[in-house]
Amino acid sequence: ETGVTQSPTHLIKTRGQQVTLRCSSQSGHNTVSWYQQALGQGPQFIFQYYREEENGRGNFPPRFSGLQFPNYSSELNVNALELDDSALYLCASSSPLDRSRSEQYFGPGTRLTVT
Amino acid sequence: AQSVSQHNHHVILSEAASLELGCNYSYGGTVNLFWYVQYPGQHLQLLLKYFSGDPLVKGIKGFEAEFIKSKFSFNLRKPSVQWSDTAEYFCAASGYSSASKIIFGSGTRLSIRP
């Protein structure tokens, strides 16, 4: 069983640029959630995708957007990068069997630095 | 508002000491509760989870947690810590109806002196 993978592992961008982060969900999982973990903080929910549709969003501006593909992999896009966007971005996937109680499996994250 | 509070930001213990990390939550309705661990350089891993039933839940690596509904608490315990328990610990909660959105506490850094 393949776990959750994310790419790239590290990324350095300049303020104002755009970035795309990628996530492959664990085999058999059709729900993907994205979280932002700033240094010294707990992860904060950005949004979730279920069967290619956004299914819930946290308190993040519209310049944070996402996609989910038919194979359940997902992308997180951030436009007009700001210095405060520097963080570890985590992807988590979960099983379709009981979404209301399903455990989420986290990937290793992508470390984004905005200069 | 939904929230999870961890009151200990940094805990330092000697090996073999007992551990208790506090966690309080504020969540309307039925709640699922979790403890995650993040070892240095590694990704988040689930230590244990509570969905329903016995309020004392046992997890991996000798950890356990007790759900006390009247106190809105879900404290993590381990009777004897090891140096390898050095990590960041996150308490988290999700609601039954939108369970896939997990709300995390700010984390507790645990340092174990050999």
pLDDT in tens, A27-58: 888 889 999 999 989 999 999 998 899 988 99
pLDDT in tens, B21-73: 999 999 877 888 999 999 988 889 999 999 889 999 999 999 999 999 999 99
* Residues in chain A within 8 Å Cβ distance of B39: none
Q: Is B102 on the interface with A (CB under 8 A)?
A: yes
Q: Residue A51, Cβ neighbours under 10 Å: how many?
A: 11
Place of tokens 């759900």: B67
Q: Is B100 on the interface with A (CB under 8 A)?
A: yes
